[in-house]
């Protein structure tokens, strides 16, 4: 069985699966149950001055029969006294000394407040700190969360303040609600961060009730923007992780977050540069025991690949992720329809005719059957037909011999020399 243990910024974890800061890590009872299920670590629900939460506060996006394809919340940080949380952290760490406990922290951007809370949580034995610069609602209106996380200077300054007092590794959690996440990742590095985690939730409004015209969720008929997460945000998170991983001037370990709900998602994040991953929405939807399938699935995958350790995955796809201008303009693929598998639903024909390049036509074979065929000379290899096809294996994208590879950047250099 492959070794699933990781070393994340000096924090040793028996596997890369951690619970993210949120409702599943609100109490010692929950975190202990998660550890019993097999989670390698947990980021405790964000600590700070206790607040008052509202109801209702959650909403789900259900799409084509799938429950919770996306998730939205307007919940804030812990509403329990700091002393109670600290006592439960201490007891949980004592009971599970081999599991990772990270304290998520959020206070006003003042040096003394950061020093105070860092010392208090470290006194109860946490393995590391995660600075929450990401929440887009509630706390942001008070100058915390993404209000700080969107300003590189504040990220750097507050990271530095936390590092002044910290004896354990400091992880900076980044907000995706920004034009260029590498700017704040770089600021975290300049502030002395030991690692970064991303992404936090995306600013969002889940929907409107067409009967009442209320927002979803609503509080006594009033609504506000919330944080979006769940499977739907995975592509956004994966891109941002990759962008940070490929920047040599950042060069920090990454904890990947955003839409992860199975071992395949986790493997993708690790291939794109994450050392460990955090899960929240999937645990809320399916329960803590999903980690059992994650552990088994990742172990089997590594065994199948002949890899002895999960660390062999980390960053392997990063060199393949680059700017558009560095892609080969001369590379060519075309669609091929396998008529033995095709069910003649005409999805590909309609999509190509109305939304792409009109290169699929209806033909009649020697037996008089109506078939679909791709005119390869007109196919631009956009993949739309294979994307909309409901039958696996009915449409293949076939690579064709092309001209000598040439990127846009190389083309521009060549044109400038003519």
Q: How far apart are CA 48 and CA 145, in angstroms?
A: 11
Q: How far is CA 186 from CA 122, 129, 133, 323, 347, in A?
A: 26, 18, 14, 19, 45
> Of 135, 348, 385, 389, which one is the catalytic site residue?
135
Q: Of 103, 367, 56, 72, whose CA–CA distance to 228 is shortest?
A: 72
Residue 394, token pair as written in the block: 């009915």
Q: How far apart are CA 253 and CA 306, in angstroms?
A: 25
Please state, as a whole number, how many other Cβ atoms lie within 10 Å of the Cβ of residue 378.
Answer: 13
**Can you state the angle between helices 290-305 and 263-271, rounded to 10 degrees?**
50
Q: What distance separates the 2 farthest-apart alpha carbons in the chain?
A: 83
**Catalytic-residue membership of 135:** yes
Distance of CA 252 to the CA centre of its chain: 17
Q: Hey, what's the torsion of the CAs at 133, 136, 139, 145, to 10 degrees? A: 10
DSSP E strand stretches across 202-325: 202-204, 207-208, 215-216, 226-229, 254-257, 274-279
Length in residues, the chain? 418
Q: How far apart are CA 61 and CA 188, in angstroms?
A: 33
With tokens 């910290």, the residue in question is 166
Coil, strand or helix at 412? helix
Catalytic residues: 135
């Amino acid at each position: 069985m492959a070794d699933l243990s990781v070393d994340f910024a000096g924090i040793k974890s028996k596997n890369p699966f951690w619970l993210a800061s949120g409702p599943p890590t609100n109490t010692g009872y929950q975190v202990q149950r998660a550890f019993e299920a097999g989670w390698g670590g947990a980021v405790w629900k964000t600590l700070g001055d206790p607040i008052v939460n509202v109801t209702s506060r959650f909403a789900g996006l259900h799409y084509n029969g799938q429950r919770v394809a996306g998730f939205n919340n307007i919940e804030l940080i812990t509403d329990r006294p700091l002393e109670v949380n600290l006592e439960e952290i201490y007891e949980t760490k004592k009971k599970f000394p081999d599991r990772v406990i990270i304290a998520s922290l959020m206070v006003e951007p003042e040096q003394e407040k950061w020093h105070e809370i860092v010392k208090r949580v470290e006194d109860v034995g946490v393995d590391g700190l995660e600075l929450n610069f990401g929440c887009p609602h509630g706390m942001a209106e008070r100058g915390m969360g993404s209000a700080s996380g969107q300003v590189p200077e504040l990220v750097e300054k507050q990271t530095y303040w936390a590092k002044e007092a910290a004896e354990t590794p400091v992880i900076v959690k980044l907000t995706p609600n920004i034009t260029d996440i590498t700017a704040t990742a770089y600021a975290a590095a300049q502030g002395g961060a030991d690692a970064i985690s991303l992404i936090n939730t995306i600013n969002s409004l889940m929907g409107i009730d067409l009967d009442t015209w209320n927002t979803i969720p609503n509080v006594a008929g009033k609504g506000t923007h919330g944080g979006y997460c769940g499977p739907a945000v995975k592509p956004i998170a994966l891109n941002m992780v990759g962008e940070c991983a490929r920047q040599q001037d950042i060069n920090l370990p990454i904890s990947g977050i955003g839409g992860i709900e199975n071992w395949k998602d986790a493997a993708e994040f690790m291939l794109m540069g994450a050392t460990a991953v955090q899960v929240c929405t999937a645990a809320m939807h399916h329960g803590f025991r999903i980690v059992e399938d994650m552990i088994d699935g990742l172990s089997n995958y590594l065994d199948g690949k002949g890899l002895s350790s999960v660390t062999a995955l980390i960053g392997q796809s990063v060199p393949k992720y680059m700017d558009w201008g560095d892609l080969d303009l001369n590379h060519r693929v075309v669609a091929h329809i396998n008529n033995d598998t095709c069910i003649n639903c005409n999805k590909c024909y309609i999509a190509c005719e109305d939304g792409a390049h009109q290169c699929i036509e209806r033909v009649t074979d020697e037996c008089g059957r109506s078939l679909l065929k791709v005119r390869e000379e007109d196919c631009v290899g956009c993949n739309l037909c294979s994307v909309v096809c409901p039958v696996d294996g009915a449409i293949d994208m076939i690579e064709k011999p092309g001209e000598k590879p040439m990127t846009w950047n190389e083309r521009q250099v060549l044109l400038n020399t003519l």
